[in-house]
Structure 1
């Protein structure tokens, strides 16, 4: 029986994976993805058709921002009906932010969107770029009974596929650059591809893709530390137009119990500023009320981010803030899992 090959769109936004080293000068320059099959002929062995789309000007991941997130979402939306899966090539430094954001922006997603990148340029002898790219495309093209196996935003790096909004970059030098401490990997690449079907998100049934393109960046991130001062906290909370604050607390959501600290947070909440409590720990969850040092936060109306990553918590805050809903609705929506970002 003739098998129709899936169409995969490869979107290059920038990053190390799209660089090649000039043999004469040793400097890095952007690789022309129109010649992708010449550089990586192995892609022709995959059971899919690969087309490419590149940003006009590649974006270093340190310069990535919500405006570019919207551009990526636009590309996916405009090609959604003609492609069966998408692979987004992106710099690794902010990949967890961008991929987390896309997980909230692409509502009713029923096709794979897989982010990948590399620690070394595609032309280097010991590069990780080829394996990451080839396997990401292979995962995006997986189908069963004519339907895609993966129907969520993912991140593939160094033999593992993760739910994007569960990832954090943990290493700037090793090939194993990412971790998903609070959720198992969705797939693992070895001699065979091992798919952990029980951990995959289920695709929505017959619902059209809805793309959210408005993000509110009037937010702040505060990491608590021993010795944090009243002046510092007051300055942040009194920032003009601020609407939400991610508060990185100790352990299971704990903080100092000094009166000035609690009073400043309470005052901010009464002014309509959302305060989200997430843990500084790489793994684990916020459990407000478990200890006395977090009970007061719960009492004054601080919202629990439970076991979300910082990257996911920030992107979710930007996304829900843009909806302009009431405090009660906001709290309910933020504390529920929208796209698998919470356990």
Structure 2
């Protein structure tokens, strides 16, 4: 690599950005990653060293699972000292899950890891993929005046906004602004210039190295409440064999039915060692379990607050902590702790 030349590794996992339309069926199919670079000749104008590491075969993001997250982390760890930043090309459907998971797996991250993709394939006339890719690479290579990376975080860049990965959720399957961070401001916005909100960006502990993690336990379920939900449903979910944790999506600021059977089911599950985390069904806002009597009953049943966590983050954080073999109390404590900028506890 050239001296003083920023270096970026592109990790292509799959997704719409790297697809091409089959002329016979009209279906979108994965194609060779090298072809992707041919559609973005602007990359040659960067004074960067850009290398690529494609998944072989590429995967649809709907097939994403923890073993693929571990593969991404292994690629980053193996190349960590060789590159200034990493750009992960990923399907949009599970991008927020992957970004959340990586934020915990790459402990004390000191380099940018930017996930991006597109709503239209890179080869189509109106694709959003080209701009997303080019700007993501520029952000991954960006440095502060002191030579440190501008954004040493796991982020999602989409439609001119750089968002903390574990704060982001997919909100639109049709429009180019497919992602949003409702409870945390954008880390940067791209217009004529890329404007960084430096006071919002997390910084690593310079005395420690980046520590990769690989283990997950997927014995987690997401339970969404709705008016009229039956005891038999709650009972069945809470007695799934091997279940270790529940993400409970409640109403408003963390409220739930006050029915005796409902509270009893939750308390019984908690006493059996199941961790139950309360997050709101609302896109914006946070759980405040002591605000109303309904939320207070959940506290008394052993349910803990997920604060303003996204569903994607709550699920992956639980799987991450469960994978480390921690006790129920240790997991409860760490779920209530801010590990990677994922929750606000003010």
Instruction: Give the TM-score band, short-chain normalised.
Output: over 0.9
Alignment of 1:290 onto 2:291? yes
Three-state SS of the structure 2 residue aligned to 1:339 is coil
Aligned to 1:111: 111
Q: Identify unmatched segments of 5+ residues in structure 2.
A: none
Residues 194-233 of structure 1: pairs in structure 2 closer than 5 A:
194-233=195-234
Instruction: Return the alpha-carbon distance in structure 2 between the equivalents of residues 295 and 26 of structure 1.
Output: 54
Residues 132-143 of structure 1: pairs in structure 2 closer than 5 A:
132-143=132-143
Instruction: Return the alpha-carbon distance in structure 2 between the equivalents of residues 11 and 53 of structure 1.
Output: 5
Residues 267-306 of structure 1: pairs in structure 2 closer than 5 A:
267-306=268-307
> Judging changes above 3 Å, is the alpha-carbon distance between structure 1 residues 245 and 25 closer, same or farther for their aligned structure 2 residues?
closer
Aligned to 2:49: 49
8 Å CA contact retained: 2:8, 2:87: yes
Bigger drift between 25-34 and 329-338 goes to 25-34
Aligned to 1:159: 160
TM-score normalised per structure 2: 0.96
Instruction: Return the alpha-carbon distance in structure 2 between the equivalents of residues 25 and 134 of structure 1.
Output: 30
Three-state SS of the structure 2 residue aligned to 1:9 is strand
Deviation at 1:73, TM superposition (A): 0.9
Residues 63-82 of structure 1: pairs in structure 2 closer than 5 A:
63-82=63-82
> Judging changes above 3 Å, is the alpha-carbon distance between structure 1 residues 25 and 219 closer, same or farther for their aligned structure 2 residues?
closer
Deviation at 1:26, TM superposition (A): 4.5
Aligned to 1:311: 312
Deviation at 1:108, TM superposition (A): 1.2
8 Å CA contact retained: 1:118, 1:129: yes
What does the per-residue CA deviation read over 1:158-214, in whole Å, with 9 as the maximum and x for residues that have no partner?
000000000110000000000100000001110111111111011221312211111
What does the per-residue CA deviation read over 1:220-263, in whole Å, with 9 as the maximum and x for residues that have no partner?
10000001000000000000010000000000000000000000
8 Å CA contact retained: 2:109, 2:210: yes
Deviation at 1:30, TM superposition (A): 2.5
Instruction: Return the alpha-carbon distance in structure 1 between the equivalents of residues 273 and 7 of structure 2.
Output: 47
Deviation at 1:32, TM superposition (A): 2.4
> Judging changes above 3 Å, is the alpha-carbon distance between structure 1 residues 23 and 45 closer, same or farther for their aligned structure 2 residues?
farther
Instruction: Return the alpha-carbon distance in structure 2 between the equivalents of residues 25 and 314 of structure 1.
Output: 37
Aligned to 2:123: 123
Three-state SS of the structure 1 residue aligned to 2:135 is helix
8 Å CA contact retained: 2:36, 2:122: no
Aligned length: 342
Instruction: Return the alpha-carbon distance in structure 2 between the equivalents of residues 271 and 244 of structure 1.
Output: 11
Three-state SS of the structure 2 residue aligned to 1:161 is strand
8 Å CA contact retained: 1:15, 1:117: yes
Q: Identify unmatched segments of 5+ residues in structure 1.
A: none
Aligned to 1:30: 30
What does the per-residue CA deviation read over 1:266-323, in whole Å, with 9 as the maximum and x for residues that have no partner?
0000000000000000000000110011111112221110000000000000011112
8 Å CA contact retained: 2:112, 2:153: yes
8 Å CA contact retained: 1:253, 1:279: yes
Aligned to 2:326: 325
Bigger drift between 131-140 and 292-301 goes to 292-301
What does the per-residue CA deviation read over 1:100-129, in whole Å, with 9 as the maximum and x for residues that have no partner?
001011101100000000000000000000
8 Å CA contact retained: 2:84, 2:111: yes
> Judging changes above 3 Å, is the alpha-carbon distance between structure 1 residues 325 and 27 closer, same or farther for their aligned structure 2 residues?
closer
Aligned to 1:259: 260
8 Å CA contact retained: 1:37, 1:44: no
Three-state SS of the structure 2 residue aligned to 1:147 is coil
Bigger drift between 173-182 and 17-26 goes to 17-26
